[in-house]
């Protein structure tokens, strides 16, 4: 959750500089405050940096640096709002939506590998990309 940051080293450095600072406060330099507090609470690091040994700081740091998401399931395509895939945008001219390798061939809308938020964005993409292709023809 903190790419490029060695959280263990950062917590140790904070402990050397500000030992009376709360572990969560030091961790909040790299994460949102509430998330930092939750991680510290669930790993028994609710006190000051001075009171947290390397083992405890390493456990907190691993929670951040080695964080993974493990999906527990899916409702499948029956309720899917967005799927991935389609014509790669690198293969298209972004001004005209024309295929770079086949003159006169255009791809627009959901056939192109573009994902938008819910709320009509995919409609907007379909209309806008269609307009671009239509202007080019």
User: Per-residue pLDDT tens for 46-95?
Assistant: 899 999 999 999 999 999 998 888 888 888 877 776 667 899 999 999 99
| Rounded Cα gap, residues 48 and 103, in angstroms | 66
Closest CA to 29 of 68, 18, 58: 18
Q: What is the pLDDT of residue 82?
A: 64
**Does the pLDDT value for residue 133 go beyond 70?**
yes
Q: Output the average pLDDT for the chain.
A: 90
For 12, phi then psi, to 5°, come to -65, -40
Q: Which of 79-83, 95-99, 117-121 has the lowest mean pLDDT?
A: 79-83
Alpha helices in 1-137 (DSSP H): 7-17, 23-27, 33-42, 54-65, 121-136
Integer CA distances (angstroms), 99 to 25, 27, 93, in order: 52, 48, 6
Burial 47-59, CB ≥16 within 10 A → b, else e: ebbeebeeebbbb
pTM (2 d.p.) = 0.54
Q: Any idea what DSSP says for residue 67?
A: -
Q: What is the pLDDT of residue 123?
A: 87
**Domains defined along the chain, listed by start:** 7-65 (1.10.8.260), 89-136 (no CATH)
User: Tokens for 125?
Assistant: 């993409």
**Does the pLDDT value for residue 106 go beyond 90?**
yes
Q: What is the pLDDT of residue 107?
A: 96
DSSP bridge partners of 106:
98
**Does the pLDDT value for residue 135 go beyond 90?**
yes
**Which pairs with CB-CB distance under 8 Å and at least 24 residues apart come from 77-80?**
none
More confident residue, 35 or 85: 35
Q: What is the pLDDT of residue 37?
A: 94
């Amino acid at each position: 959750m903190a790419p490029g940051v060695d959280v263990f080293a950062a917590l140790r450095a904070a402990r050397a500089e500000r030992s009376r600072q709360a572990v969560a406060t030091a961790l909040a330099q790299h994460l949102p405050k509430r998330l930092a507090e939750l991680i510290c609470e669930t790993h028994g690091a609710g006190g000051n940096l001075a009171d947290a040994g390397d083992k405890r700081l390493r456990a907190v740091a691993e929670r951040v640096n080695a964080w993974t998401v493990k999906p527990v399931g899916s409702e499948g395509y029956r309720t899917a709002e967005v799927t991935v895939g389609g014509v790669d945008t690198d293969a298209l001219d972004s001004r005209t939506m024309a295929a770079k390798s086949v003159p006169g061939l255009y791809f627009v809308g959901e056939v192109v590998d573009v994902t938008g938020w819910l709320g009509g964005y995919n409609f907007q993409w379909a209309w806008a990309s269609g307009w671009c292709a239509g202007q080019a023809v």
